[in-house]
């Protein structure tokens, strides 16, 4: 699975944000965008956790979308992402 689209997970510290997780979504833009749109969270800058939908293109990291979430929402999102990526690459695409 080519790593083109991914989700960066960040938490807030006194001097900004630290990236502590990266979730590979593969190379299908439609899948990556639709999955990110279904995640729990909000676009308003509130909370100490942030998720960004990123694209790696020509050695550049491009931000497609972002959201803030609570710890329970992050746990829900990680479960949902795992199920959807598994389903997409095992059942839909047949890898």
Neighbours of 74 (CB within 10 A): 20
Neighbours of 36 (CB within 10 A): 21
Tokens coding 68 = 């803030």
How high is the pLDDT of residue 92?
Answer: 78
Give me the helix-helix angle, 71-87 and 29-37, nearest 10°.
150
Cβ contact 66:43 at 8 Å: yes
Cβ contact 43:68 at 8 Å: yes
Q: Write out the chain's pLDDT in tens, 95 residues.
A: 567 999 999 999 999 999 999 999 999 999 999 999 999 999 998 889 999 999 999 989 999 999 999 999 999 999 999 999 999 999 877 66
pTM of the prediction? 0.91
């Amino acid at each position: 699975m080519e790593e083109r689209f991914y989700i960066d997970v960040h938490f807030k510290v006194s001097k900004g944000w630290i990236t502590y997780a990266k979730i590979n979504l593969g190379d299908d833009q439609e899948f990556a965008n639709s999955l990110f749109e279904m995640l729990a969270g909000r676009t308003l800058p509130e909370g100490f956790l942030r998720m960004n939908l990123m694209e790696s293109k020509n050695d550049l990291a491009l931000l497609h979308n972002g959201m803030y979430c609570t710890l329970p929402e992050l746990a829900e999102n990680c479960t949902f992402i795992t199920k959807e990526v598994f389903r997409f690459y095992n059942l839909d695409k047949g890898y």
